[in-house]
């Protein structure tokens, strides 16, 4: 595992471990379907697809195309809504992986965003109508960085009117299209860092690393309001989502080409436990495995003194098959099941001793 230090120009100076590259995993041969046309009822698969969503379609549009290409119709979802303007990493969950979708939605995300100063729009991006213009001449990189700095940390952010947030049961974007603007409550979001990677006028490029629920369009709009000249997003790419990176993503075109290839589209699947690989793991015996599969707590042979209070672990059987996400309850000296999954194949992320 290598260390990665953020460039010194970042508004927040910190060092973190880079997520390890995915281990290439060969799914069971029973999953090697060819195309939906040849096999209209393919077996249900489980795993994650790291999809690179193109510009111009919604996350649901992309998901519909994935379903069409793979033939998978049941238990398929995506791990985070993206605007049509945005491109980049969109994790897709299949089968048992949908049980772990919250670990993707709430995971750390990284964006590269172009912000154009001098113009504010109704949608906070380049697709909306211009509602404000302002003078940006004379602005320096130092001035812009100073106005970005307050947005690093846990901050209150108001979602844009053109968003999927619901108010009184109605989507904001539907109200906006009808010409209705409503009061939106600010909500807490966490922005880990904002880095200016390229400065120019009227457009600058920034890298933003943040938690789930953060709106890049609101960040750009709020910067424009703070500077007094207005601003909007002119380009947006999600480069990281819960450990999935754009470097290891697959496009819809690659997915379609792989359907009739020797390895099938399943060559792009990540195992269901991939999103939990940062957690510690345990191996259970046959009797404990049976109990856990039935949702029962499991008592270890001895107290787990190194386990933190209610710390979550990955549980595997002696063959390396991922069984469940468990939590250690020290008072009762038991592994409590959090999410039990029905998987059958050994995982490359099982404990090395297996």
Residue positions annotated with a catalytic role: 83
> For the chain, how big is the Rg over CA atoms in Å?
23
Q: How many of the other CB atoms lie within 10 Å of CB of 303?
A: 11
Three-state SS string across 170-234, please? EEHHHHHHCCCCCCCCCEEEEEEEEEEEECCCCEEEEEEEECCCCCHHHHHHHHHHHHCCCEEEE
The residues that bridge with 93 in the sheet, in sequence order, are 48, 77
Extended strands (E) in 199-249 = 203-210, 231-241, 244-245
β-pair type (244-245, 119-121) = unpaired
Question: What distances in angstroms separate CA 285 from CA 300, 327, 346, one per listed residue?
Answer: 10, 17, 15
Q: Are 175 and 161 in contact (CB under 8 A)?
A: yes
| Chain centroid to CA 61 | 17
Alpha helices in the chain (DSSP H): 59-70, 101-105, 141-148, 172-177, 216-227, 252-259, 286-293
For 102, residues 6+ apart whose C-beta sits below 8 A from its C-beta are: none
Cis peptide before 202 (omega within 30 of 0): yes
Identify whether 332 is preceded by a cis peptide bond (ω within 30 of 0): no
As to burial, measured by CB atoms within 10 angstroms (0-12 exposed, 13-18 middle, 19+ buried), residue 54 is: middle
Identify the bridge partners of residue 48 per DSSP, sorted by sequence position: 93, 270
Q: Report in angstroms the alpha-carbon separations of 111 from 164, 210, 211, 238.
A: 19, 8, 11, 4
Q: 154: burial class by Cβ within 10 Å (0-12, 13-18, 19+)?
A: exposed
């Amino acid at each position: 595992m290598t260390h990665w230090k953020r460039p010194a120009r970042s508004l927040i100076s910190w060092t973190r471990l880079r997520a390890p590259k995915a281990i290439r995993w060969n799914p069971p041969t029973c999953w090697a379907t060819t195309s939906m046309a040849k096999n209209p009822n393919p077996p249900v698969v489980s795993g994650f697809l790291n999809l690179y969503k193109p510009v111009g379609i919604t996350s649901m549009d992309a998901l519909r195309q994935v379903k069409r290409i793979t033939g998978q119709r049941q238990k398929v979802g995506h791990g985070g809504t993206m605007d049509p303007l945005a491109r980049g990493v969109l994790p897709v969950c299949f089968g048992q992986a949908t049980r772990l979708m919250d670990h993707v939605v709430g995971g750390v995300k990284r964006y590269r965003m172009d912000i154009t100063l001098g113009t504010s729009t109704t949608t906070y991006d380049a697709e909306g109508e211009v509602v404000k213009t302002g003078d940006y001449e004379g602005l320096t990189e130092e001035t812009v960085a100073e106005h970005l700095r307050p947005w690093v940390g846990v901050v209150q952010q108001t979602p844009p009117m053109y968003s999927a947030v619901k108010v009184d049961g109605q989507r904001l974007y539907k109200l906006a299209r009808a010409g209705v603007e409503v009061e939106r409550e600010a909500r807490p979001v966490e922005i880990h860092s904002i880095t200016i990677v390229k400065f120019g006028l009227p457009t600058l490029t920034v890298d933003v690393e943040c938690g789930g629920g953060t709106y890049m369009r609101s960040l750009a709009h709020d910067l424009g309001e703070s500077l007094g000249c207005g601003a909007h997003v002119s380009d947006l790419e999600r480069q990281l989502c819960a450990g999935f990176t754009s470097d290891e993503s697959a496009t819809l075109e690659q997915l379609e080409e792989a359907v009739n290839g020797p390895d099938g589209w399943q060559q792009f699947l990540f195992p269901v436990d991939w999103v939990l690989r940062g957690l510690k793991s345990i191996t259970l015996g046959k009797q404990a495995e049976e109990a856990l599969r039935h949702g029962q707590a499991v008592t270890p042979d001895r107290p787990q003194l190194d386990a933190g209070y209610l710390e979550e672990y990955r549980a595997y059987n002696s063959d390396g098959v991922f069984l469940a996400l468990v939590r250690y309850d020290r008072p009762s000296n038991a592994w409590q099941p959090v999410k039990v999954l029905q998987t059958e194949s050994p995982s490359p992320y099982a404990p090395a001793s297996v």
